[in-house]
Structure 1
Amino acid sequence: ATPLFAHQGCISEHAQLRLVNGSSRCSGRVEVLHNQKWGTVCDEGWDLQDAGVVCRQLGCGTALSAPGLAEFGEGSDPIWLAEVNCTGTEATLSECRASPWGGKNCTQRKDASVDCSGLTISEHTQLRLVNGPSRCAGRVEVLHDQQWGAVCDRSWDTNDAKVVCRQLACGAVLSVPDKAWFGEGSDPIWLDEINCTGTEASLTECRARLWGDHNCTHEEDAGVVCNPHICNFLHGDRDLRCTGRLEVLHNQQWGTVCDHSWDLRDAEVVCRQLSCGTALLAPGRAQFGEGSDPIWLNDVHCTGTEEAITECRAKPWGVHNCTHGETAGVVCSGNISPDHPKGALCCRN
């Protein structure tokens, strides 16, 4: 048995794991998505530790039982996984060991199931994202002593954001905005100097200062942008995410775009041009690195309906009063299609 990811498995932290035929969302037959098809899990080796990981991953509290023998009915799809062997401490099923995808002889009569307590992580410590374009993007706020409060961005990084996205069942981290990108809160600043490893099931499991102990202002409120449609690959070729520093090709040389006047309408054109869905953010200030090539575009003004960024108004090529510290970026909702011609536009993480 080897880790699931070694066999091109991409069980995401929420959307690609589900429970079927149960009396609630927190009980039922375990199904995983592989090769764009849902399939079941064989009950060989299936136990309470494995079920506990599933319950945690779905925000369903603790495992009450780990039934086998198709307790919640037999599936009709492929049997994707067998001999799953979790220690019980994993944050997601993808971290557990198992036989290769579809490589075990089993029958649907042995489909594995779980019955969880249904007590979600957020019922222990409330967590929410506010002022963003969706429930999976915004300023991070936690509930303590029956009052919502902000999180300071000092030491705030991708590992911390990964825990937030997991806790809210929001998939993978796209961006980790700081400096009150989603506006300043007005409530207490509850947490400061958070230091997560990235594997914790909830933010309160991470090391941090004591509640309310900080030397921050709301100008330093932390934010997160997650995408529930993107899963994290640990092995093999990485998916090309639609987020990063924007670069354009001119005179056979790649160059950056200045963030002067850069906004969501400009980013919307970029996302459309790259077949990347809709624009979630239009970050500036070189959030994805400064770049070292020429600064090709400045003062870009798109209406948002253009098919390509070259159709938008801007200063002439190479005319600018910017530095690489003002490089523009984009955060889009989707992935670049594998067969999409990148043309003269790209995003670099």
Structure 2
Amino acid sequence: MGSCGTWARQELLLKFRLAGYPRKHNEGRVEVFYNDEWGTICDDDFTLANAQVLCRHLGFVAATGWAHSAKYGKGVGRIWLDNVNCAGGEKSIADCKHRGWGNSDCSHEEDAGVICKDERIPGFKDSNVIETEQSHVEEVRLRSVVSGSRRQLPVTEGIVEVRYKDGWAQICDEGWNSQNSRVVCGMMGFPAEKKVNRNFYNASHS
């Protein structure tokens, strides 16, 4: 009874997100949140049927393809799943055959990605959001304020903006800390945050 209860709780905590670069909102390195930790899926034996199940987890109606060999960049942390074998109709990736959570002989150079059909499941509640008391933040971006033609791509530093109604809104930095930066960097597919020169941004925005 106890082990079943533990398994059920872990199943409830499964979340999925798309990460990496370059990617679109409906494609990317697929990452799964299991046992309080984000990790990746190895591309060994990966199939379109696996992608179908994962795209539904992500709120898309179907998959149109998948990617191997860390096409969207290498992830960090655990490689949660390996040798995944889905029929395509499973409700959860956990129902597919695999080597067991955390059992893998892969490196992050084998991180799998998915390409989902750009059509959302009606009424799907996205698990890949930052929840606040008043709203759901689903899209963030960095607006570069560094001038010059040699702008670094992808943009790894800039003013944090969130999608709001039909436009973009800037976030105030009052109370902002490295934990906030880490969350935003993770949403954009970067492994970690770096210290930013706040004086530069205060001067350029004043």
Tell me the TM-score normalized by structure 1. Answer: 0.32
Q: Percent identity?
A: 34
Distance 2:30 2:12 in 1: 14
Distance 1:84 1:77 in 2: 19
Distance 1:12 1:66 in 2: 25
In the other structure, the counterpart of 2:73 is 73
Shift of residue 94, structure 1, vs aligned partner: 2.1
Structure 2 unpaired stretches of 5+: 128-206
Contact 1:11–1:33 (CA under 8 A) maintained in structure 2: no
SS at match of 1:97: coil
In the other structure, the counterpart of 1:148 is none
Distance 1:73 1:45 in 2: 19
Distance 1:11-1:43 versus aligned 2 partners, 3 A rule: farther
The aligned amino acid for 1:66 is: W
Distance 1:169-1:94 versus aligned 2 partners, 3 A rule: farther
Distance 2:100 2:31 in 1: 16
- Superposed, 1:318-329 pairs within 5 Å as none
RCO (CA 8 Å, sep 6+): is it higher in 1 or 2? 2
In the other structure, the counterpart of 1:92 is 92
Shift of residue 26, structure 1, vs aligned partner: 2.0
Shift of residue 16, structure 1, vs aligned partner: 1.3
Tell me the TM-score normalized by structure 2. Answer: 0.53
Distance 1:66 1:49 in 2: 10
Q: Deviations over 1:296-319 (max 9, x none)?
A: xxxxxxxxxxxxxxxxxxxxxxxx
In the other structure, the counterpart of 1:119 is 119
Distance 1:31-1:11 versus aligned 2 partners, 3 A rule: farther
Distance 1:12-1:65 versus aligned 2 partners, 3 A rule: farther
Between Structure 1 and Structure 2, which shows a larger proportion of helix residues? Answer: 2
In the other structure, the counterpart of 1:16 is 15
Structure 1 unpaired stretches of 5+: 128-166, 171-349
Distance 1:99 1:8 in 2: 16
Distance 1:55 1:116 in 2: 6
In the other structure, the counterpart of 2:63 is 63
Distance 1:111-1:80 versus aligned 2 partners, 3 A rule: same
Give the number of equivalent residue pairs: 122
Shift of residue 108, structure 1, vs aligned partner: 0.7
